[in-house]
Amino acid sequence: MSGQAINLLGLDLDALVAYCESLGEKRFRAVQLYRWIHQRGVADFALMSDLAKSLRDKLSVCATVEGLKLLTEQRSADGTIKWLFDVGNGDAVEAVFIPEDDRATLCVSSQAGCAVGCRFCSTGHQGFSRNLTTAEIVAQLWFAEHQLRRERGSSERVISNIVMMGMGEPLQNYAQLLPALRTFLDDHAYGLSRRRVTVSTSGVVPMIERLKADCPVALAVSLHAPTDALRDPLVPLNRKYPLKELLAACRSYLEAAPRDFITFEYCMLDGVNDGLQQAEELVALIRRERLPCKLNLIPFNPFPQSGLTKSPRAAVLAFAQVLQDAGIVTTVRKTRGDDIDAACGQLAGEVQDRTQAARRMTRAPITVHRKSTPTPH
């Protein structure tokens, strides 16, 4: 295959229509091709039997449907599957399949590494190498969906939900993310509803506003702290986009969102953000901002470089109780796939860091300034 061949996994339907028109083909041919690739998982143009032979011949010369090279597959006792994909030049990214009774979710990566550098996330500690292309983002779903169908001997859809919560900050790779989201949603491809596709962000405010205008899917925000003083060291992006700006963007996003609430992710860190004082501050913040939301309390998955520890279960439940008593919908997330390092904050892949993360993230312990009479855990 020529080095100039275009990987059709990277084209949403509008782009594929334009590409087929450049080959002298009509729109309906692009729709047929799109369905073969995404609905049927076929990569060989010769097998696309209802395409004109002349088109198949053209495509075989100038195009390809090329997935990612699978390096490893790990299966957890709870049914979670983690795949590690080679994206070239020493970089590898991870996708995680999480089956549940009422849904089957694929957690998709958007970058090789991450430049945000959240203190509690092992991806951030690896540093950042590069953005993934649209084809590399879509290829994770293309592989997982059709691999799982083959295992089940079924043509029925397996994956019902996509969360952009793998490696990377999706909104720092917006140009490549947007066509991928459109392919996830397109009825000629995966046909997922906007409610079932979630973009998770640490708070890139201008891009939240862009997403609202371009492709408003469900939004999850990595909150992790109720005040700027505490969030600054945990989520360094907060120094650029502090809570007031972030929550204003969230409130605006709800005007176009498919759900009538924002999901906030809150990683529970022992002695850092898990006290009753922080719970009360969080209630006050949400009330002050009048923001319809749901809180996910996430167990921290420790890794050596973080210098952080997991909150005791009693502290998590006491924290949740304060929120629930205030009428805030709160879920204590179950840890899934932690035996294969597939749980939240554990995805690390292999990254050729270009940002000196190891040096940047060697920090002094986070100091939490509590009230003079601290509330007991």
Closest by CA position to 216, among listed 175, 258, 165: 258
Distance of alpha carbon 225 from alpha carbon 259, whole angstroms: 23
Out of 20, 107, 293, 344, which one is annotated catalytic?
A: 344
Place of tokens 């010769």: 46
What is the distance in angstroms between the CA of the first residue and the CA of the last residue of the chain? 62
Place of tokens 């492709």: 215
Distance of alpha carbon 50 from alpha carbon 317, whole angstroms: 57
Distance of alpha carbon 113 from alpha carbon 150, whole angstroms: 30
Which amino acid is present at 346? Q
Which amino acid is present at 101? D
DSSP state of 160: -
Is residue 94 annotated as part of the catalytic site, yes or no?
Answer: yes
Out of 25, 94, 136, 169, which one is annotated catalytic?
A: 94
Are residues 172 and 129 in contact, defined by beta-carbon separation less than 8 angstroms? no
Distance of alpha carbon 15 from alpha carbon 26, whole angstroms: 13
Distance of alpha carbon 25 from alpha carbon 18, whole angstroms: 9
Are residues 365 and 119 in contact, defined by beta-carbon separation less than 8 angstroms? no
DSSP state of 350: B
What length is written for the chain?
Answer: 377
Structure token pair of residue 376: 């007991």
Distance of alpha carbon 240 from alpha carbon 254, whole angstroms: 22
The residues assigned a catalytic role are: 94, 344
